[in-house]
Amino acid sequence: MSVDGARLTLARRTPVRWDVAVQTVLTGCADRNRAAIAHQVRQDIWRALARVRGFSPIVEVTRSGSDMQVRAGGRLDASAPDLTAGIAGVLNQPTARARWCARA
């Protein structure tokens, strides 16, 4: 985990390399714990894409006013199909978004 001002990045491997990424905004969550949100998002992405060989998830959470900007994706060490739709599906799931803000 690395923190650079308002930005927190959670990755298992460094240096961080974004081979695939999707962004979203969590409205009204700026008073929440960025690390907790990053861990929950990473866990959900890992569960959704665990079968993708060579994929290592990365989550970046940045405070922006009263919102949290979330960039999720990861590093690919092997060829894989386009993962954008799978990541976007996780990030845009209403129940998961509510859980991330509530538990952070």
Predicted confidence pLDDT, tens digits, the chain (104 residues): 999 888 999 999 889 999 999 999 999 887 889 999 999 999 999 999 999 998 999 999 999 888 999 999 999 988 878 899 999 999 999 999 999 999 88
State the pLDDT at residue 32: 87
- Record the pTM: 0.91
Instruction: Render 39-97 in DSSP notation, one character per residue.
Output: HHHHHHHHHHHTTSTTEEEEEEEEEETTEEEEEEEEEESS-----HHHHHHHHT-HHHH
